[in-house]
Every structure is written in structure tokens, then in C-alpha cells.
Amino acid sequence: MLKKPSYMFLENVKHIKNIDNGTVFKSILSDIDEIGYKVQTIELSPKQLGIPQNRERIIFICIKKEIVLLYSSEITFNIPKNHSNGLERILEKNVDPKYKISTDLEEILNAWDKIIQTFETGENLSPTILCNDFDKNPASTEFKEFPKWRQDYIIKNKRIYEKYKDNWDKWVLDNTEVLSKREIYGKLEWQVGKKVENDSIFNHFIQFRQSGIRIKKSDCFPTLVAIVQTPIYGKEKRYITPRECARLQSFPDDFIIHDSDHIAYKQFGNAVNVDVIYFAVFNTLRHYSFTFN
């Protein structure tokens, strides 16, 4: 029979606490308890450790109950507040031209950038703009057959459409061909807050997702994911590189990356951030009287 380890460290997305109203999370804690471990959890993002990636995770710290009996207190984790050190130490210099976005992607982003330029400074863009649904009437039978999320966005879009109606109508007419190339091209998720002076879509990070074109603030890289939705660094109109992904997951620069970019992106998107796990392990072992040089 295999000997049970003294410690286990498990990691998952923070949202796991809310699945099925918390039932899944409670079941996990109960199962770990049944096999002889006391569980303490912490929530941590690389951003709190100075890495500019907002990747909130929950860490399950599991200690054999025999060990816990020797100590009277839980582990103390002095989790820092967000203090990302910026992008410069992540970004590569002299990036291979192969990481430039395609002509088609640049064309649709240029089109969206033109309409953004027409908005007033301080304008609060709807979280998701469905420009191909501007003509949908909430009183129509067609509208009532839409899923609830789509109905909500169409209603929210009415304000910004009506305020800039002349601009929108001309823009949609001028860009009908490019907007119709893919369904997602007509959807913009603006997640950077109110428009600022001299704002541009290329001031931010961009992702082409199944839900649309997502724009994220430029002070922190979007969360890397296992499915390949590689973030675009807008200022250079290019995808972030596998090496930049490795740095975002706290792998050292001498780490050997897979020859296939597609596989490398998936691996880093599915990886656990090294510094986050080190933080959890180091503080756990220090609490239980391990010494470090």
C-alpha cells in the first residue's frame, strides 16, 4: 500500500466555490477530510506576487491530521495586495514577425477603432456591443425567442446606439463586408471602463473569443487559458509569444519550450503559476517547523 504524503497542494479556479451554490466546494472539502487531511484554503493571483497576470486561483492546502495535532494554529499567510511590477520584464524584444496578427484581424480591429474614436471622452461603453442587433425590436416575436443574455445586451445597447445613431449606421454600412466575415466580428466586449482621451483599441490587450472581441486593460495580461485564445498585445499588433507566456507562469528563461507554438500555448494556459504554488508550499512548510537557508 502506498504511503500517504504528509502534504498535498491542490489548485483550481476561484469560481469552483460558487458551483451549484457551493455544493461542489463543500463536497471537495468533505472528501479530503475523509481521507485523513485537514484543509486550509487561500485565494491568490500572480498579480499579488508582482507578476502582471490576473489569474485568481484557490489553493487547497492539505495536511495529514496527525501532523496538525502537534500544532494549535492555522498557517498564517501574509498575502500581499496587488502590486504588479509592470509589463516590461515580461515582454520580449525583437519579436519574430510571425507573431503579427493577420491582415483580416487587423482590418476588423481598425474598423472597430474608427467607431471608438467617435465616442466622447468619458463615454461608458456597454460591456458587450452587438452591432448586428441594433435593429432588433424588444417588442418583436423574434426578440422574445432570443436567449436571456442576448436580450439583455440588446436592451443595454440601445442607449449607446441611439446616442451615436448616425455614426453607427454609417459605420455598419461602410464595414458590412468585414463584419460579416465571422459572427464574432460584430461583437465587442469593452472591459476597460470609460473611454479616456486619445483612447484606442490598440492601447489595450485584445482577445478573439467565441463570445466576441474582448478588450482588456493594458496594465495586466489577460488570464492565460488552456484553449488557445492567445492574447494580442495591441500596441504592437501581435500575439504574445510562448516565452512571454512562460514568464507569466513564472517559468525561468532557461525553461525549454515545446517546438510547436500551438502546444506551448496550451501547456502554459493549463499550467499552474510556479510562484503561486511556491508561496503556498513555502509558508506551509515553514509553519510546520521546516528550516530554509
Helices (H), 102-258: 103-117, 141-144, 148-163, 165-174, 176-179, 242-248
Q: At CA 98, angle to CA 93 and CA 103, rounded to 5?
A: 115
Q: How far apart are the first and last CA of the chain?
A: 34
Q: Can you give the pLDDT at residue 219?
A: 86
Q: To which H or E segment does residue 58 belong?
A: strand 57-64
Full-prediction pTM beyond 0.85? Answer: yes
Three-state secondary structure call for residue 67: helix
Q: What is the pLDDT of residues 166-187, one digit of tens each?
A: 999 999 999 999 999 999 999 9
Domain ranges in the chain with CATH number 3.40.50.150: 7-85+272-287
Quick one: angle between helices 148-163 and 165-174, nearest 10? 110
Q: Residue 145 — φ and ψ, nearest 5°?
A: -90, -10
Q: Are 283 and 77 in contact (CB under 8 A)?
A: yes
Q: What is the pLDDT of residues 99-128, one digit of tens each?
A: 999 999 999 999 999 999 999 999 998 789
Integer Rg of the chain from CA:
23
Positions of the chain with pLDDT under 70:
1-2, 72, 82-85, 290-293
Q: Which DSSP string corresponds to 122-134?
A: T----SEEEGGGT
Q: What is the pLDDT of residues 241-269, one digit of tens each?
A: 999 999 999 999 999 999 999 999 999 99
Q: Are 53 and 220 in contact (CB under 8 A)?
A: yes
Distance CA 184, CA 81 (A): 36
Distance CA 220, CA 197 (A): 20
For 7-85+272-287, the fitting CATH number among 3.40.50.720, 3.40.30.110, 4.10.110.10, 3.40.50.150 is 3.40.50.150
